[in-house]
């Protein structure tokens, strides 16, 4: 089946024009030419979307042929679109039949498809609002289309949630507050967290949080991820994936939580380890009260954890009797950590300049062998070098200038 001659001629001209443009190598274009072409393409994409959506808005006969409720089945089979994407486009096509101004601006290339979708979704919500009138809906459409000239699609989604406050602040303030309260209550009902052991040295987790808590978590994790990223950028090193940096940032956030502010019944992490394993290079410990309610870690990791927070180490003799229960006072106190930061400025490993806020306070003379929590025995080490300090495969020594040199064991 072919299109009629007029449409065929038009599409042939468009195809030829694109062939001509694709034959040109943009590497030889000036910056201004590239900017002009990108702006033209954005406008063209919007107009193309308007044409596509106009056709989808009249595709009832396609649905009749496939026996489906809409054309999404055909789009999935012939255009290889995911059904969710196809139905979203069909829904937008239907919305454009209701919102003439949005449809007109999209056809003119003044609105992108993403912006049109953001606006129509906001308008659909208003249309079902029992407080809103038809006049409110029209005014909201005008305001959002006007805002589209200076906002991204995501920003329009946010603006769309509160557009009624601009339409009539006195009338919609209370309604907005009630809607937000209901949203927060629904969020609490949806809040959930699952944590599981992957049995490969990692733990997986997934969950849903209320937006207020989730944004705070995101901000705190990014704060811990950014210093590491900045260090890599300054050194010219390739950046790892952002997800990995966030994972490391989340790890650091958990490692630096003060256990004294946590509930007394579960605030302190408990490491159970024999005195023999604590003292030798290769050994194991249990994080938790026993293997059933905890997990096995290396003695090196246990020693590293003991430098970071109020870990209660239960040191067992050969017959399992408790030899000593560590006290929080044996760890570097906040005032000592501040003094170390002032004195040492950065990680003390030779050649490392990780800033002090990313470093741990480490005992050069291990507490397990009689070391004391004194400033003269304390040294700042970044997470990487702190792991090396407790790793069986490395030794370390303090050089005359105070820096720490690591050497791989032969």
Strand (E) or helix (H) holding 181: helix 169-190
Cβ-Cβ contacts under 8 Å for 242 (sequence gap 6 or more): 225
Provide, rounded to the nearest whole percent, the portion of the chain with pLDDT above 70: 74
Q: Give the per-residue pLDDT at 363.
A: 83
Q: In what order do the strands lie in the sheet with 270-274?
A: 295-298, 284-287, 270-274, 312-316, 322-325
Q: Is the pLDDT of residue 266 over 50?
A: no
* DSSP code, position 356: G
Strand (E) or helix (H) holding 298: strand 295-298
Q: Give the per-residue pLDDT at 281.
A: 57
**Poorest-pLDDT segment among 86-100, 150-164, 170-184, 379-393:** 170-184
For 260, the token pair is 């004294």
For 325, the token pair is 């229960």
pLDDT digit string, tens, across residues 136-178: 899 999 999 999 999 999 999 988 888 887 887 777 766 666 6
- Model pTM score: 0.50
Of 108-112, 157-161, 262-266, 389-393, the range with the highest mean pLDDT is 108-112
Give the pLDDT band of residue 269 (cuts 50, 70, 90): low
Average pLDDT, the chain: 80
Q: Give the per-residue pLDDT at 267.
A: 45
For 97, the token pair is 């039949």
Q: Give the per-residue pLDDT at 56.
A: 92
Q: Which of 365, 306, 366, 379 is nearest to 337 (CA)?
A: 379
Q: What is the mean pLDDT of residues 377-400?
A: 86
The residue that leads in pLDDT, 171 or 386, is: 386
CB 268 within 8 A of CB 311: yes
* Cα torsion 185, 186, 187, 191: sign: positive
Q: Is the pLDDT of residue 74 over 60?
A: yes
Q: What is the mean pLDDT of residues 369-391?
A: 80
Q: Give the per-residue pLDDT at 16.
A: 92
The residue that leads in pLDDT, 236 or 8, is: 8
Give the pLDDT band of residue 378 (cuts 50, 70, 90): confident
The residue that leads in pLDDT, 2 or 303, is: 303
**Going along 304-346, which residue ranges are E strands?**
312-316, 322-325
**Poorest-pLDDT segment among 12-26, 34-48, 360-374:** 360-374
What size, in residues, is the chain?
A: 410
pLDDT digit string, tens, across residues 280-324: 555 666 665 445 445 666 666 666 665 554 444 444 555 554 333
The residue that leads in pLDDT, 384 or 270, is: 384
For 20, the token pair is 């001509």
**Cα separation of 157 and 121, whole Å?**
8
Q: Give the per-residue pLDDT at 280.
A: 59
| Owner of token pair 């002090």 | 356
Q: Is the pLDDT of residue 93 over 70?
A: yes
Q: What is the mean pLDDT of residues 193-208?
A: 89
- Cβ atoms < 10 Å from Cβ of 328: 13
CB 383 within 8 A of CB 377: no
Q: What is the mean pLDDT of residues 399-404?
A: 90
């Amino acid at each position: 089946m072919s299109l009629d001659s007029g449409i065929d001629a038009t599409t042939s001209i468009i195809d030829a024009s694109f062939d001509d443009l694709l034959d040109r190598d943009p590497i030889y274009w000036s910056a201004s030419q590239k900017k002009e072409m990108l702006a033209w393409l954005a406008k063209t994409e919007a107009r193309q979307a308007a044409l596509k959506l106009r056709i989808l808005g009249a595709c009832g006969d396609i649905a009749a042929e496939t026996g489906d409720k809409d054309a999404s089945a055909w789009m999935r089979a012939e255009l290889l679109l995911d059904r969710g994407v196809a139905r979203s486009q069909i829904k937008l096509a239907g919305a454009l039949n209701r919102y003439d101004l949005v449809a007109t601006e999209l056809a003119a290339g003044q609105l992108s498809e993403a912006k049109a979708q953001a606006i129509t979704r906001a308008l659909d919500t208003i249309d079902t609002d029992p407080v809103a009138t038809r006049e409110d809906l029209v005014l909201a459409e005008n305001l959002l289309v006007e805002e589209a000239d200076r906002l991204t699609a995501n920003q329009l989604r946010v603006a769309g949630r509160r557009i009624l406050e601009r339409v009539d602040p006195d009338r919609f303030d209370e309604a907005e507050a009630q809607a937000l309260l209901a949203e927060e209550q629904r969020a609490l009902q949806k809040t959930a967290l699952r944590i599981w052991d992957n049995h490969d040295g990692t733990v997986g987790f997934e969950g849903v949080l209320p937006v207020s808590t989730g944004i705070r978590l995101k901000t705190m994790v990014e704060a811990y991820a950014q210093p590491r990223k900045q260090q890599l950028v300054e050194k010219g090193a390739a950046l790892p994936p952002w997800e990995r940096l966030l994972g490391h940032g989340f790890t650091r956030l958990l490692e630096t939580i003060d256990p004294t502010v946590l509930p007394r019944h579960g605030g302190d992490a408990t490491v159970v380890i024999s005195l023999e394993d604590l003292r030798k290079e290769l050994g194991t410990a249990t994080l938790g009260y026993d293997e059933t309610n905890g997990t096995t870690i290396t003695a090196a990791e246990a020693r590293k954890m003991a430098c970071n927070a109020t870990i209660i180490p239960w040191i067992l003799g050969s017959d399992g009797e408790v030899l000593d229960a560590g006290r929080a006072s044996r760890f570097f106190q906040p005032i000592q950590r501040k003094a170390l930061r002032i004195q040492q400025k950065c990680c003390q490993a030779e050649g490392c300049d990780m800033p002090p806020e990313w470093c741990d306070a480490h005992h050069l003379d291990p507490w397990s062998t009689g070391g004391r929590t004194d400033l003269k025995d304390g040294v700042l080490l970044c997470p990487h070098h702190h792991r090396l300090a407790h790793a069986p495969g490395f030794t370390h020594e303090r050089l005359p200038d105070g820096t720490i040199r690591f050497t791989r064991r032969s």
